[in-house]
């Protein structure tokens, strides 16, 4: 009897992995070259823990298709283990009672110490962890081709005035000053940068997080719209519908001088074998130096019935925050790790600066959620803002004053 | 005893066979009836229900009456999308029919290599709308496509930028959709032409009617059922043109090329405005109903009289 | 209407006809040519040249990469398409038979309901359908996806067969009935043998529709069972990372190849089927 007991104990100790092997199904849209490599790393790490990885990739439009799939899966009562959900949408899913509680894992992994508190808050519903952050993107970057700038006699701008001056010089020298892709989210990204620059982080917060009507219709908001209108003069007429990476390509090829885009643009430069700081410059969008508009990718975990799958799910959550995954993933994606203690020596100069700025901004008001990337408000507010901004940007007759009013009204209408 | 007993089971058997024969058609149709009632009409009812709720992220059943419809009426984007469907649908159907008929009539003139030419006209229908949209996005892209091609070939002043012009982008959708569907319309009409009775035509020729007159006055009018089929298929493509817009313009520039199907999808699934999406779906169905039902009714009625 | 009375001769009119037809051929072919050319170019070549320039350095790397990305999903599509096409065609044939030869009170109404149903934008049914599949225990299974395709293909298959059988003389069926032939006997012995052309039309149509479907595939299949269109989308439609248009184009061609082949090889039967009554609404 005793021997059998001992044997059983030995077996259970010797085979803890296989005994707890479960399956994780991860719904994501990491499908491009670099992202796919990153996702494969996660898969490998999870599989090393003895679990089965069921890949569920759905690309398209920043996860729009994936959200459709997720909703239908949830309605059919058969959600995946984990899904790429971010920002305030995590709260929406939490409210539906579908998300799993990760407090145990968080406690073991000391997430409280590891994660910046602003990030941790996004990952929680009702004070419990329901999601795990993967990376931090900075949205308010300006990408510059120094060679083009030199030819035009322009210098990298620090303020909006310098930005327009540089744009004028580029235009005079026959370059397209700003490479842009006319898709709603890109228009929204540029608009958001102008707002952050002109209104400052505090009023940005009031406008896009608190949705304060007074700030939304303020003179400064009108100025932000006016700046967006002015930008039209500095982009080429064929921008409509262009993918952001083709716009980046225009800067790489020296047709255009700069691009206003988040740090995922770096992957394009890297793919073209360009070196940060030498072949291209990354500077904070003019006037937003102390600010950091963040876009955090995260995996939300769904409630599962199967005990083993739940174990696998917890292991997945643990793995995401491991330094190895954080490094590989973020180097491929252009973003920075969410772990404050990550060793940044292997990263390029843009990422290093991003990390330093992030830590600095996190101390004060500077760290702000990106509206264009679904971090500041729910998808319905985001959609309403996109409609107003993109319509304004594509209408040469549009009036900034009117647009600010429409913005407030549109946000009001979806509340 | 036995003489009475024998015929009885046989009679019962026969009548049950008759009963079965009488009910068999209904039984065979039954699964389809269930499928249609559940898969189409119960789902429509459910969507109708949702359109009266404030469903956002996921279905909820908090009644808000006609609020969603009122909001839809005030939504500028919805009106742009509806207008686009009228323009797109009208032009797409008209041009496809015209090109289809003309090509079919021309191909019917004892053309050499007819088979090969037919295949070339028909193949776009084999491609998915996503592929069509992607290809045409390239072709019509200023700076990349035809625009650049013609300038490279020396036509310096050439400028074709409808794809990035909010007022003209919807015509780009028409071009791509016509390219895909007109060959199919051609095939339908060619098939119809092959079924036309030769003796009538010969008789008309004897009477001295010219060939164009024969086609316009006699042949094409006799192809009314073909028009019906073509119209059904084209209308169905137009209303469901979602993949094409998604691949070609994603509704842009701004939302200038939005269509109702796209509007509905975006609001239901990506914007967390399920109630509004449901309301837009119901309006779409109501519009289809208003246009289609009288037409269907008359077509099916004439059928019965035959 | 091959016009036997008019002997083809080389007149100005005929030249104009040929010129128009050939011009149309060019228009229809251009997108395909552009896709083919692009798929054999290098990314640099694509950036510098225009649509119709020949590849400077001819490369198949696009095709190799595209095949690596989508080949696993090819078989998935086959597993979905074959049963879905066969079942929906069979059901369509039976429905068409009943609706044309065995009409009863309400059958015409049913046909109307069915026709209206085919105008339903499919986005509307995603949520309720997935709810239903969940209840049936078929969520995210290939069976479930096949079922969905059968249900929403039914309208067109029924339409095809009904219109075909309507043109068959009813006297034929009446005579067989008087001879004591039953429902299925008449169907199997009389109608089915003459249905070959319309069966071809229906098979080709359904094959194209289901093979090219993206929406149902992405929503109702999961992970490893996704059809090839979803894999294509994952390759082409990625929002971040370098775009490789040569790979995109090659992948699009690969995904579209089966339907293209079917149209080229079976196009003849398609037309023959249409001629034999499918369109006589």
Indicate whether A238 and A215 sit together in one domain: yes
Q: Report the distance separating Cα B155 and Cα B142, nearest Å.
A: 14
Q: Could you tell me the pLDDT band of residue C281, with boundaries at 50, 70 and 90?
A: very low
Indicate whether A37 and A112 sit together in one domain: yes
Q: Report the distance separating Cα B34 and Cα A96, nearest Å.
A: 32
Contacts of A243 in chain C (CB under 8 A): 243
pLDDT in tens, B61-84: 889 989 999 999 989 899 999 999
Indicate whether A272 and A162 sit together in one domain: yes
Residue with tokens 């009554």: C277
Nearest-neighbour CA in chain B from A66: distance (Å): 9
Average pLDDT of C225-234? 84
Top-confidence residue, A153 or B291? A153
Q: Could you tell me the pLDDT band of residue C207, with boundaries at 50, 70 and 90?
A: very high
Say how many CB pairs under 8 Å bridge A and B. Answer: 91
Indicate whether A176 and A71 sit together in one domain: no
For residue C219, pLDDT beyond 90 = no
Is the Cβ pair B269, A241 closer than 8 Å?
no
> What local confidence, expressed as pLDDT, does residue B6 receive?
43
Q: Determine the 3-state secondary structure of C97 from DSSP.
A: helix
Indicate whether A333 and A387 sit together in one domain: no
Of A68, A71, A393, nearest to B254 by CB-CB distance is A393
Indicate whether A330 and A374 sit together in one domain: no
pLDDT in tens, B24-37: 888 999 999 999 99
Residue with tokens 């034999």: C276
> What local confidence, expressed as pLDDT, does residue C168 receive?
83
Chains that touch B (3 or more CB pairs under 8 A): A, C
For residue A368 the two structure tokens come to: 């702000």
Q: Determine the 3-state secondary structure of C14 from DSSP.
A: helix
Is the Cβ pair A76, C131 closer than 8 Å?
yes
Q: Report the distance separating Cα C214 and Cα C103, nearest Å.
A: 36
Lowest mean pLDDT among A40-44, B243-247, C189-193, C199-203: B243-247
Is the Cβ pair C241, A76 closer than 8 Å?
no
Nearest-neighbour CA in chain C from A271: distance (Å): 7
Nearest-neighbour CA in chain A from B260: distance (Å): 15
Domain count, chain A: 2
Contacts of A379 in chain B (CB under 8 A): 270-272
Of B58, B252, B266, nearest to A241 by CB-CB distance is B252
**Domain presence at residue A167:** yes
Q: Report the distance separating Cα A91 and Cα B56, nearest Å.
A: 13
Average pLDDT of B165-184? 92
Indicate whether A248 and A384 sit together in one domain: yes
Contact B67, B54 (CB under 8 A): yes
Q: Report the distance separating Cα B88 and Cα A34, nearest Å.
A: 39
Is the Cβ pair B164, A380 closer than 8 Å?
no
Of C130, C218, C235, nearest to A58 by CB-CB distance is C218
Q: Whole-model pTM?
A: 0.86
For residue C3, pLDDT beyond 80 = no
Q: What domains, with CATH codes, occur in chain B?
A: 2-51 (no CATH), 71-305 (1.10.3720.10)
> What local confidence, expressed as pLDDT, does residue B17 receive?
72
Q: Report the distance separating Cα B268 and Cα A142, nearest Å.
A: 34
> What local confidence, expressed as pLDDT, does residue A2 receive?
53
Contacts of C118 in chain B (CB under 8 A): 236
Buried-state track C129-154, b at ≥16 Cβ within 10 A, e below 16: bbbbbbeeebbbbbebbbbbbbbbbb
**Domain presence at residue A409:** yes
Q: Report the distance separating Cα B100 and Cα B97, nearest Å.
A: 5
| A52 touches C at CB < 8 Å | no
For residue C204 the two structure tokens come to: 């080709």
Nearest-neighbour CA in chain C from B132: distance (Å): 8
> What local confidence, expressed as pLDDT, does residue C201 receive?
87
Q: State how far Cα A71 lies from the chain centre.
A: 21
Q: Determine the 3-state secondary structure of A39 from DSSP.
A: helix
Chains that touch A (3 or more CB pairs under 8 A): B, C
**Domain presence at residue A253:** yes
For residue C5, pLDDT beyond 80 = no
Lowest mean pLDDT among A355-369, B55-69, B151-165, C5-19: C5-19
Strands A23-28 and A82-84: parallel
Q: Report the distance separating Cα B143 and Cα C108, nearest Å.
A: 54
Query: Which CATH number covers residue A72?
Result: 3.40.190.10
What is the pLDDT of chain C when averaged over all its residues? 84
Contacts of C280 in chain B (CB under 8 A): 192, 195, 225-226
pLDDT in tens, C23-37: 999 999 988 988 888
Write the DSSP assignment of C18-78 as a string of letters: HHHHHHHHHHHHHHHHHHHHHHTS-HHHHHHS-TTSPPSS---HHHHHHHHHHHHHHHHHH
User: From the candidates C76, C133, C231, C241, which should be mutated to test the interface with A, based on the most A CB atoms within 10 A?
Assistant: C241
**Domain presence at residue A357:** no
Strand partners, A294: A138, A369
Query: Burial, A397: exposed, middle or buried (Cβ in 10 Å; 0-12, 13-18, 19+)?
Result: exposed
Contact C211, C77 (CB under 8 A): yes
The predicted complex's ipTM stands at 0.83
Contacts of A69 in chain C (CB under 8 A): 218-219
> What local confidence, expressed as pLDDT, does residue C56 receive?
77
Q: Determine the 3-state secondary structure of A298 from DSSP.
A: strand
Contacts of A71 in chain C (CB under 8 A): 127
> What local confidence, expressed as pLDDT, does residue A14 receive?
43
Q: Could you tell me the pLDDT band of residue B290, with boundaries at 50, 70 and 90?
A: confident
Contacts of A68 in chain B (CB under 8 A): 265, 269-270
Is the Cβ pair A380, B273 closer than 8 Å?
yes
Indicate whether A367 and A347 sit together in one domain: no
Indicate whether A242 and A340 sit together in one domain: no
For residue B8, pLDDT beyond 70 = no
Contact A296, A320 (CB under 8 A): no
Is the Cβ pair C116, B292 closer than 8 Å?
yes
Parent domain of A374: 141-293+362-414
Q: State how far Cα A233 lies from the chain centre.
A: 28
Of A184, A237, A391, nearest to B161 by CB-CB distance is A237
Contact B61, B276 (CB under 8 A): no
> Taking Cα atoms as reference points, which of A62, A3, A63, A77 lies closest to residue A27?
A63
Of B58, B256, B270, nearest to A96 by CB-CB distance is B58
For residue B12, pLDDT beyond 90 = no
Q: Along the 415 residues of chain A, how does pLDDT read in single tens digits?
A: 455 555 554 444 444 444 457 899 999 988 776 777 788 889 999 999 899 998 888 876 567 788 888 988 888 888 999 999 988 989 989 988 999 999 999 999 999 988 988 889 999 999 999 999 999 999 999 999 999 999 999 999 999 999 999 999 999 999 999 999 888 899 999 999 999 999 999 999 999 999 999 999 999 999 999 999 999 999 998 888 888 888 998 999 899 999 999 998 888 888 788 999 899 999 999 999 999 999 999 999 999 988 899 999 999 999 999 998 999 889 888 899 999 888 899 899 999 999 999 999 988 889 999 999 989 988 889 999 999 999 999 888 899 999 999 999 999 888 7
Q: Report the distance separating Cα B57 and Cα A96, nearest Å.
A: 9
Indicate whether A207 and A320 sit together in one domain: no
> What local confidence, expressed as pLDDT, does residue C8 receive?
52
Indicate whether A323 and A371 sit together in one domain: no
Contact A144, A280 (CB under 8 A): yes
Top-confidence residue, C279 or A370? A370
> What local confidence, expressed as pLDDT, does residue C252 receive?
86
Average pLDDT of B270-288? 89
Is the Cβ pair B303, C112 closer than 8 Å?
no
**Domain presence at residue A69:** yes
**Domain presence at residue A65:** yes
Nearest-neighbour CA in chain A from B253: distance (Å): 5
Largest CA distance in chain C: 75
Indicate whether A261 and A379 sit together in one domain: yes
């Amino acid at each position: 009897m005793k021997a059998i007991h001992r044997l059983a104990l030995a077996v259970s100790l010797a085979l803890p992995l296989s005994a707890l092997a479960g399956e994780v199904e991860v719904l994501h849209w990491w499908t491009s070259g670099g992202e796919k490599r990153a996702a494969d790393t996660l898969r490998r790490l999870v599989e090393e823990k003895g679990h089965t990885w069921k890949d569920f990739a759905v690309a398209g439009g920043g996860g729009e298709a994936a959200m459709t799939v997720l909703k239908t899966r949830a309605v059919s009562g058969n959600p995946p283990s984990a899904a790429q959900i971010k920002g305030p949408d995590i709260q929406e899913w939490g409210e539906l009672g579908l998300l799993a509680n990760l407090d145990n894992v968080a406690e073991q992994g000391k997430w409280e110490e590891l994660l910046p508190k602003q990030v941790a808050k996004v990952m929680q519903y009702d004070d419990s962890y329901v999601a795990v952050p993967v990376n931090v993107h900075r949205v308010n970057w300006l990408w510059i081709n120094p060679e083009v700038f030199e030819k035009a006699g322009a210098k990298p701008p620090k303020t909006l005035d310098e930005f327009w001056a540089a744009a004028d010089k580029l235009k005079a020298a026959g370059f397209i000053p700003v490479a842009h892709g006319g898709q709603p989210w890109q228009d929204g990204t540029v608009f958001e940068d102008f707002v952050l620059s002109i209104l400052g982080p505090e009023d940005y917060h009031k406008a896009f997080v608190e949705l304060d009507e007074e700030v939304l219709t303020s003179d400064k908001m009108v100025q932000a719209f006016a700046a967006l209108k002015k930008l039209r003069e500095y982009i080429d007429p064929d921008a409509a519908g262009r993918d952001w990476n083709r716009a980046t390509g225009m800067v790489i090829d020296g047709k255009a001088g700069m691009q206003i885009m988040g740090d995922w643009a770096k992957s394009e430069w890297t793919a073209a074998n360009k070196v940060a700081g030498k072949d291209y410059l990354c500077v904070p969008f003019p006037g937003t130096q102390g600010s950091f508009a963040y876009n955090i990718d995260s995996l939300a975990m769904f409630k599962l019935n199967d005990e083993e799958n739940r174990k696998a799910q917890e292991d997945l959550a643990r793995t995401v925050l491991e330094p190895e995954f954080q490094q590989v993933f973020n180097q491929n994606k252009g973003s920075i790790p969410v772990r404050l203690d990550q060793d940044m020596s292997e990263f390029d100069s843009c990422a290093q600066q991003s990390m330093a700025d992030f830590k600095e901004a996190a101390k004060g008001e500077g760290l702000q959620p990106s509206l264009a990337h679904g971090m500041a408000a729910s998808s319905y507010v985001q959609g309403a803002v996109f409609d107003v901004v993109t319509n304004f940007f594509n209408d040469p007759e549009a009036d900034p004053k009117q647009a600010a009013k429409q913005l407030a009204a549109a946000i009001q209408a979806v509340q | 005893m036995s003489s009475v007993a024998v015929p009885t089971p046989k009679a019962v058997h026969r009548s049950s066979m008759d009963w079965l024969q009488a009910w068999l058609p209904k039984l065979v149709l039954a699964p389809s009836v269930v499928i249609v009632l559940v898969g189409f009409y119960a789902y429509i009812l459910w969507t109708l229900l949702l359109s009266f709720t404030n469903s956002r992220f996921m279905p909820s059943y908090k009644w808000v009456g006609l609020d969603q419809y009122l909001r839809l009426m005030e939504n500028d984007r919805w009106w742009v999308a509806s207008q686009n469907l009228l323009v797109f649908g009208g032009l797409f159907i008209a041009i496809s029919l015209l090109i289809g008929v003309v090509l079919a009539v021309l191909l019917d003139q004892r053309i050499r290599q007819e088979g090969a030419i037919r295949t070339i006209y028909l193949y776009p229908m084999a491609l998915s709308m996503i592929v069509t949209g992607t290809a045409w996005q390239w072709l019509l892209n200023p700076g990349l496509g035809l625009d650049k091609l013609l300038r490279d070939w020396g036509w310096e002043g050439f400028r074709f930028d409808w794809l990035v012009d909010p007022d003209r982008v919807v015509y780009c959708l028409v071009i791509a959709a016509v390219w895909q569907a007109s060959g199919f319309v051609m095939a339908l009409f060619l098939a119809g032409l092959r079924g036309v009775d030769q003796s009538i035509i010969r008789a008309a020729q004897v009477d001295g009617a010219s060939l164009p007159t024969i086609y316009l006055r006699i042949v094409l009018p006799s192809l009314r059922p073909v028009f019906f089929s073509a119209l059904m298929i084209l209308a169905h493509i137009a209303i469901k043109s979602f993949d094409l817009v998604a691949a070609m313009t994603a509704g842009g520039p701004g939302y200038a090329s939005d269509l109702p199907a796209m509007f509905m999808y975006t609001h239901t699934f990506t914007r967390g405005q399920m109630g509004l999406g449901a309301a837009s779906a119901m309006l779409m169905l109501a519009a289809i109903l208003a246009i289609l039902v009288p037409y269907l009714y008359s077509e099916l009625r004439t059928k019965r009289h035959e | 209407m091959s016009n036997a009375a008019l002997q083809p001769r080389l007149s100005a009119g005929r030249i104009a006809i040929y010129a128009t037809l050939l011009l149309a051929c060019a228009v229809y072919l251009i997108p395909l040519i552009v896709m083919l050319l692009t798929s054999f170019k290098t990314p640099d070549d694509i950036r510098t040249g225009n649509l119709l320039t020949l590849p400077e350095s001819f490369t198949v790397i696009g095709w190799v990469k595209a095949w690596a990305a989508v080949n696993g999903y090819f078989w998935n599509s086959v597993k979905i398409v074959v049963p879905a096409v066969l079942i929906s065609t069979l059901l369509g044939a039976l429905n068409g038979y009943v609706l044309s030869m065995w009409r009863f009170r309400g059958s015409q109404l049913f046909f109307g309901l069915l026709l209206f149903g085919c105008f339903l934008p499919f986005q509307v049914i995603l949520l309720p359908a997935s709810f239903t599949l969940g209840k049936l225990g078929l969520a995210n299974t290939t069976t479930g996806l096949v079922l969905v395709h059968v249900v929403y293909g039914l309208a067109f298959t029924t339409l095809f067969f009904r219109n075909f059988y309507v043109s068959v003389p009813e006297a034929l069926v009446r005579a067989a009935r008087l001879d004591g032939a039953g429902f299925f006997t008449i169907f199997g012995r009389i109608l089915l043998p003459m249905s070959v052309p319309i069966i071809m039309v229906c098979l080709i149509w359904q094959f194209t529709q289901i093979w090219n479907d993206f929406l149902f595939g992405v929503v109702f299949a999961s992970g490893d069972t996704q059809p090839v269109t979803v894999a294509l989308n994952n390759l082409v439609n990625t929002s971040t990372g370098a775009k490789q248009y040569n790979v995109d184009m090659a992948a699009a061609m690969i995904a579209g190849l089966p339907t293209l082949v079917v149209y080229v090889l079976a196009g003849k039967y398609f037309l023959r089927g249409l001629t034999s009554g499918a369109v006589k609404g």
